[in-house]
Amino acid sequence: MHSTTESFQKNFALFEHSLNGESELPLHQLRRRSLERFSTLGFPTTRDEDWRFTNIAPLAATQFRPILVSEPHSITPAQVAAAGYAGQSGQRLVFVNGHFAPGLSQLGEVGNGATVSNLAAAIKADAAAVEQFIESLPATKPDTFAALNTAFIRDGVFISVPSGIIIEQPIHLLFIGVATSEATVAHLRNLISVGENAQATIIEEYVSIGGGGNHATFTNPVTQIAAAPNATVNHYRIQHEQELGFHIGTFHATLDRASTVNSITFTLGSAIVRNNTSAVLAGPGAHCTMDGVYLANETQLVDNHTTLDHAAPNCTSHELYKGVLNDRGRGVFSGRIIVRQDAQKTDSKQSNRNLLLSDTAIIDSKPQLEIFADDVKCTHGATIGQLSDESLFYLRARGIGLAEARAILTYAFAEEVVEHIAIPELRDYLETLLNTRLEH
């Protein structure tokens, strides 16, 4: 692991040379401090409490090449449409191996002073504002991968919605990984600010398209959302990358007074996936929904670590994560709800439910409540089960084959989360994705 840490340090020297004049900006000092933080922390091991069920030794042992500049590719608009969500959207920003691909994107007029652009362009326009947003990410716990992401910040998405503006159509962010003749890494940073009384819907999707090799890809994105008073943000995160890949994703939302953030995460691909999902309810009356569906097949490992931090009174949150595990697939769920001393009248519910389709599948579930206030309503729980023999018999007695009956019941288990999606076309798309995976 130490040698791999050194390889990232060497990659950083190459990264600096590729920045040209940008390395003189104060933002680059933030990059350097983050690299030092990453070098000090190193990669986590199973001796670390937050990683004791997730062994990332295969990732840490791989030498990854950063793609410093946009490289030629043969991806066509038809491949883009086939690889990801192709339904209704006002804007579609496409990235290939970590770099913005304007020729594959659909950039319509947002209007009303809203900004939707790639992060590299935003850094050129106002690096100080970007730096301030980046540094707003809480550092309550040492996070190796967030530090690594910050060290290599170059591209991603920058969205700013002014106060009172409602963005009617969803904004689709499509991140494509293309396998090459060597292992590659992409560090993407997505900054989303939604002003007072404003509304926006974001679809954040990670896919793979076959390229010139069968080596692993490592995707290490960080997404930050700031919701101003009375703002509403719907955020859908979909991950279905190649089976050889690694995905360590960080999502954080900060909610001001009476704001709402609805976050739903769908994890369907990669060898090892870790989703670090957190939200701070910082203003009175804020509401956060944090839901997810995760599938693990063969030897896949999917780890969901969530934190809902109630820091203000009269806030509500609802969390539902459902896992489907087959073969030797492994799932990890660690859900943490914190209720601060001043967060009276908190109402928070958390549930983790898991369906094991084989005797060799494993789930480690750890729901947690930390309550420092005395006038609250908080519940949490976890369940682990198998398909009902009675339900299988019911379907088979009506002429449905065993495999199809299992798929029907398994999809019915996951459907509760899918129904929370407010966009009909996206809901249909995810139903297709889930059914395709379940058939396999």
pLDDT digits (tens, 9 = 90+) for 134-157: 988 876 566 899 999 999 999 999
Range(s) of the domain holding residue 403 = 390-440
Tens digits of residue pLDDT in 24-45: 788 999 999 999 999 999 999 9
* Mean pLDDT within 179-187: 87
Compute the mean pLDDT over every residue in the chain, rounded to the nearest whole number: 91
Query: Is 77 within 8 Å of 104 (Cβ atoms)?
Result: yes
Amino acid at 59: L
Amino acid at 373: A
* Mean pLDDT within 126-130: 89
Q: What is the pLDDT of residue 362?
A: 96
Residue 306 covered by a domain: no
**Model confidence at 256: pLDDT above 70:** yes
CA separation for the pair 37, 150 (Å, rounded) = 10
* Mean pLDDT within 147-175: 95
Nearest Cα to 351, choosing from 311, 379, 320, 397?
320
Strands 232-240 and 272-281: unpaired
Examine the domain organization and report whether 395 and 278 are in the same domain: no
Helix (H, G, I), strand (E, B) or coil at 72: coil
Looking at mean pLDDT, say which of 70-79, 212-221, 356-365 comes out highest. 356-365
* Mean pLDDT within 188-216: 89
Examine the domain organization and report whether 184 and 63 are in the same domain: yes
Q: Which residue has the tokens 């670090």?
A: 276
* Mean pLDDT within 99-104: 94
The CB-based long-range contact list for 137-141 (8 Å cut-off, 24+ gap) reads 137/222, 137/224, 137/252, 138/252, 138/278, 138/280, 141/50
* Mean pLDDT within 319-339: 96
Examine the domain organization and report whether 262 and 404 are in the same domain: no
**Model confidence at 72: pLDDT above 80:** no
Query: Is 12 within 8 Å of 38 (Cβ atoms)?
Result: no
Q: What is the pLDDT of residue 2?
A: 47
Number of domains comprising the chain? 2
In 210-345, DSSP assigns E strands to 217-219, 222-227, 232-240, 246-255, 260-267, 272-281, 287-296, 301-310, 316-325, 330-339
Residue 302 covered by a domain: no
% of residues, the chain, pLDDT over 70? 97
Instruction: Identify the band that residue 431 occupies on the pLDDT scale cut at 50, 70 and 90.
Output: very high
Nearest Cα to 272, choosing from 14, 55, 25, 3?
55
Helix (H, G, I), strand (E, B) or coil at 355: strand
CA separation for the pair 231, 6 (Å, rounded) = 43
Residue 207 covered by a domain: yes
Examine the domain organization and report whether 278 and 399 are in the same domain: no
CA separation for the pair 166, 194 (Å, rounded) = 10
CB atoms within 10 A of CB 432: 10
Burial tier of 377 (Cβ tally within 10 Å: 0-12, 13-18, 19+): exposed
Query: Is 179 within 8 Å of 214 (Cβ atoms)?
Result: yes
Q: What is the pLDDT of residue 112?
A: 79
Q: What is the pLDDT of residue 213?
A: 57
Residue 92 covered by a domain: yes
Residue 32 covered by a domain: yes
Residue 272 covered by a domain: yes
Helices (H), 330-399: 389-396
Q: What is the pLDDT of residue 211?
A: 59
Indicate the residue among 240, 263, 283 that finishes a domain: 283
**Model confidence at 334: pLDDT above 80:** yes
Examine the domain organization and report whether 395 and 277 are in the same domain: no
Residue 384 covered by a domain: no
Q: What is the pLDDT of residue 54?
A: 96
Residue 395 covered by a domain: yes
Query: Is 219 within 8 Å of 190 (Cβ atoms)?
Result: no
SS3 content of the chain, % helix, strand, coil (to 5): 25, 40, 35
**What does residue 50 show for φ and ψ, rounded to 5 degrees?**
-75, -5
CA separation for the pair 363, 399 (Å, rounded) = 33
CA separation for the pair 439, 363 (Å, rounded) = 21
Indicate the residue among 261, 283, 305 that finishes a domain: 283
**Model confidence at 3: pLDDT above 60:** no
In 340-375, DSSP assigns E strands to 346-356, 362-371
Instruction: Identify the band that residue 401 occupies on the pLDDT scale cut at 50, 70 and 90.
Output: confident
Indicate the residue among 235, 257, 283 that finishes a domain: 283
Query: Is 40 within 8 Å of 2 (Cβ atoms)?
Result: no
Q: Which residue has the tokens 């929904």?
A: 289
Complete DSSP assignment for 327-345: TT-EEEEEEEEEE-TT-TT
